[in-house]
Amino acid sequence: AKKPGRTPICFFTAEMNAQVHERMRLEQDLNRVVARGELQLAFQPIFRADDGAYVGAEVLLRWRHPERGFICPATFIPLAESTGQIVAIGEWVLREAGRQLRRWLDAGLAPGYLAVNLSRVQLREDLEQLIREVLDDNDLPPQALELEITENVLLDDHQQINAVLGRLHAQGLRFSLDDFGTGYSSLSYLRRFSFDTLKIDRSFVAPLRDDAEAAALVRAIVAMAHSLALKVIAEGVETPAQQEFLKGLNCDYLQGYLLSRPLDADHFTTFLACCARK
């Protein structure tokens, strides 16, 4: 029989040790990403469901590591959140999104709005000042930016966060509730804070083709959102069948690989130029 406590643990220790080192190296590298210009934005277009018109894009962060190539956000954002480095990184994202909008507008293109993901730690008093600067520096109206936050952000300390978000909202900034359905959602959040948009997580969109329950769920979410005067974006639309389904369920906007992958700034410029010619 297996004796508890006598199993060799050195193997696990070595592995854990390697993980800790890996984490420390990434953490060190993250300190320099902004200064070294290793961050890059990708843009994924969002379309109106009924007529397919382009309305805006979600900003997605990319890290071009000099030795390791592209590191995906799922790897480094949680780390940057735990160390607080996300504050400086998130500031760069907002400023660069503003500059990019200005470049496209100056080129005579119609970029719509940019939706920027915000981490919980960024929701502090100084966020207001930062957003004001981004809008002023680039001569943008508040509607040019939408701020995406996940429902878990609202879990605790909601008084202070609500105050910051409420003031930004009053200034015309728009908010979307991201990954709806995956967190500890409580419908009361939807009432307590004025979102403009609800993003249905792709885990609800994926089974839409052959799953009647998934369809019922999405239908219910859309109906509830509409009764609260929220628009609905479906994330992760990958097949024409899902697209048709979501249109039939009265979903307002669609985003996903079927319609477009996230594009770098150059490709997005070409995309916008094509939109303009249509």
In the complex, the residues that contact Ca ion under the rule CB under 5 A are 117, 148, 178-179, 235
Q: Which of 180, 233, 236, 245 binds ligand C2E (CB under 6 A)?
A: 236
Residue 234 as a binder of ligand C2E (CB under 6 A): the answer is no
The secondary structure of the chain in percent helix, strand, coil, rounded to multiples of 5, reads 50, 20, 30
Binding window for ligand C2E (CB under 6 A); candidates: 16-24, 46-54, 218-226, 256-264: 256-264
Q: HSE-up of 113 (CA within 13 Å, CB side)?
A: 18
- In terms of CB distance, is 29 or 179 closer to ligand C2E? 179
- In terms of CB distance, is 235 or 252 closer to Ca ion? 235
State the binding string over 30-59 for ligand C2E (x if CB under 6 A, else -): --------------x---------------
Residue 40 to residue 100: CA distance in whole angstroms: 11
Residue 119 as a binder of ligand C2E (CB under 6 A): the answer is yes
CA–CA distances in Å: residue 40 to residues 91, 93, 121? 13, 8, 21
Residue 96 as a binder of ligand C2E (CB under 6 A): the answer is no
CA angle 57, 61, 67 (to 5 degrees): 145
Could you tell which of Ca ion, ligand C2E, none binds residue 29, using a CB distance below 5 to 8 A set by kind? Answer: none
Q: Which of 26, 61, 154, 234 binds ligand C2E (CB under 6 A)?
A: 61
β-bridge pairing 174-180 and 145-150 = parallel
Least distance (Å) from ligand C2E to the CB of residue 91? Answer: 11
Closest CA to 103 of 260, 278, 262, 268: 268
Q: What are phi and psi of 31, to 5 degrees?
A: -60, -25
Residue 17 to residue 15: CA distance in whole angstroms: 5
Q: Which residues bind ligand C2E (CB under 6 A)?
A: 44, 60-61, 72-74, 77, 90, 93, 117-119, 178-179, 202, 236-238, 256-257, 262
